[in-house]
């Protein structure tokens, strides 16, 4: 074998080995114990916020097909045919803290303690800072991050008691990059990442709940009503995920019984490195995203 070929094969083998080792070590670090109680679709009770549209609908369909009891929290009625004998809808405004407490109590009384919480609901304003009314700003924060705290406060104690559960945070690639006409949304997604990281630390060190899993998902552009104008503009042609793509990744992660950090598409994992790059590179990334956003949504208004 020519020396150059041997060296090349050696390099490829080393890269492959390092990749597998990295995946293994990351999985161990993100899970409090290698194994926990087995996950049985028929025995789990899943709460999904924003379950009446987009990614939420895809999640409900996938879980229902596995026989999992699924509970939808949303202000919008689910599409016809989505509910079935094992799927239940509760009209819940996530900006109303007293309603969250009341509905959570109803769910516990009527169905038992949920074992999986998917904080999926998300809204954005698509307005610049100076054009953003305070009520809109507060709604974005209430739905996209404050509700995560309030729902976990309601549902996590039972998971800790049984040492079995999974909290899924649907964030965004915007957790790592902020650009014009998207600042409120990006702030909440950065906060969602901090929430996920802190929750994992408390599960490990404060509550010693080594069987409760914790996952965060960072999708790119997904074909949902929240970015319909972007989809219609064709500004991100070839880079749009379907809701089912995200839902499948989440359900697979849950059923694997493992916590983790998912980037969708997976090739965009490098976005998490942006804030560690030189300032001129960071600004170049943000500039490109801002120009695209302004072209679709406008500037000041």
Tell me if residue 299 falls in helix, strand or coil.
Answer: coil
Number of domains observed in the structure of the chain: 1
Instruction: Please check whether residue 237 lies inside any domain of the structure.
Output: yes
Tell me if residue 19 falls in helix, strand or coil.
Answer: helix
**Distance (Å, rounded) from C-alpha 219 to C-alpha 171?**
7
Note down the domain range covering 278: 38-297
* 216 CB-near residues (< 8 Å, 6+ apart): 168, 169, 171, 192, 193, 196, 260, 261, 262
CA atoms within 13 A on the CB side of 130: 3
Res. 56 pLDDT band, cuts 50 70 90: very high
pTM over 0.85: yes
Instruction: Please check whether residue 30 lies inside any domain of the structure.
Output: no
Listing DSSP states for 129-191 in one string gives GGG--HHHHHHHHIIIIIHHHHHHHHHHHHHHHHT-EEEEEE--GGGT---TT-HHHHHHHHH
Express each pLDDT in 94-146 by its tens digit: 999 999 999 999 999 999 999 999 999 999 999 999 999 999 999 999 999 99
Q: What pLDDT sits at residue 11?
A: 42
**Distance (Å, rounded) from C-alpha 120 to C-alpha 222?**
13
Q: What pLDDT sits at residue 229?
A: 77
Express each pLDDT in 172-229 by its tens digit: 999 999 999 999 999 999 999 999 999 999 999 999 999 999 999 999 989 887 777 7
Catalytic, out of 24, 61, 90, 189: 189
Q: What pLDDT sits at residue 81?
A: 82
| Better pLDDT: 9 or 194 | 194
For residue 276, how many other CB atoms are within 10 A of its CB? 9
Instruction: Please check whether residue 213 lies inside any domain of the structure.
Output: yes
Q: What pLDDT sits at residue 20?
A: 52
- Helix/strand/coil percent split, the chain, to 5: 55, 15, 30
Q: What pLDDT sits at residue 189?
A: 98
Mean pLDDT within 53-78:
96
Q: What pLDDT sits at residue 225?
A: 77
Mean pLDDT within 138-158:
99
Mean pLDDT within 257-279:
94
CATH number of the domain residue 264 falls in: 3.40.50.720
Q: What are the phi and psi torsion angles at 72 (to 5°)?
A: -100, 130
Instruction: Please check whether residue 67 lies inside any domain of the structure.
Output: yes
Q: Are 156 and 108 in contact (CB under 8 A)?
A: no
pLDDT at 26 over 60: no
Q: What pLDDT sits at residue 2?
A: 58
Catalytic, out of 27, 185, 288, 297: 185
Res. 52 pLDDT band, cuts 50 70 90: very high
Bridge partner residues of 45 (DSSP): 69
Mean pLDDT within 265-287:
93
Using alpha carbons, select from 164, 55, 58 the residue that is nearest to residue 112.
164
Q: Are 152 and 199 in contact (CB under 8 A)?
A: yes
Query: Of all residues in the chain, what percent carry a pLDDT higher than 90?
Result: 73
Quick check: is 297 catalytic?
no
Quick check: is 207 catalytic?
no
| Better pLDDT: 40 or 52 | 52
Instruction: Please check whether residue 2 lies inside any domain of the structure.
Output: no
| Better pLDDT: 106 or 294 | 106
């Amino acid at each position: 074998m020519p020396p150059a070929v041997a060296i090349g094969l050696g390099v490829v083998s080393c890269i492959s080995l390092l990749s597998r080792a990295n995946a293994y070590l990351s999985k161990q670090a993100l899970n409090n114990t290698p194994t926990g109680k087995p996950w049985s679709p028929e025995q789990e009770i899943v709460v999904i916020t924003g379950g009446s549209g987009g990614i939420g609908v895809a999640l409900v369909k996938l879980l229902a097909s596995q026989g999992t009891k699924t509970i939808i929290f949303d202000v919008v009625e689910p599409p016809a045919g989505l509910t079935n004998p094992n799927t239940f809808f509760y009209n819940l405004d996530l900006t109303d803290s007293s309603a969250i407490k009341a509905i959570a109590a109803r769910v516990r009384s009527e169905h038992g303690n949920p074992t999986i919480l998917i904080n999926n609901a998300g809204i954005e304003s698509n307005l610049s800072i100076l054009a953003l009314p305070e009520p809109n700003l507060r709604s974005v924060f209430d739905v996209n991050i404050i509700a995560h705290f309030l729902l976990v406060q309601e549902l996590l104690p039972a998971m800790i008691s049984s040492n079995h559960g999974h909290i899924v945070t649907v964030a965004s690639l915007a957790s790592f990059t902020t650009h014009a006409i998207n600042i409120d949304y990006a702030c909440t997604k950065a906060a969602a990442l901090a929430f996920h990281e802190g929750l994992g630390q408390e599960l490990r060190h404060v509550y010693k709940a080594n069987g409760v899993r914790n996952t965060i998902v960072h999708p790119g552009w997904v074909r949902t009503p929240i970015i319909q104008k972007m989809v219609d503009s064709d500004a991100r042609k070839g880079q749009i995920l379907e809701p089912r793509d995200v839902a499948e990744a989440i359900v697979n992660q849950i059923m694997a019984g493992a916590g983790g950090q998912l980037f969708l598409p997976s090739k965009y994992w490098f976005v998490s490195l942006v804030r560690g790059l030189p300032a001129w590179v960071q600004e170049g990334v943000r500039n490109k995203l801002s120009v695209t956003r302004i072209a679709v949504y406008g500037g000041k208004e």
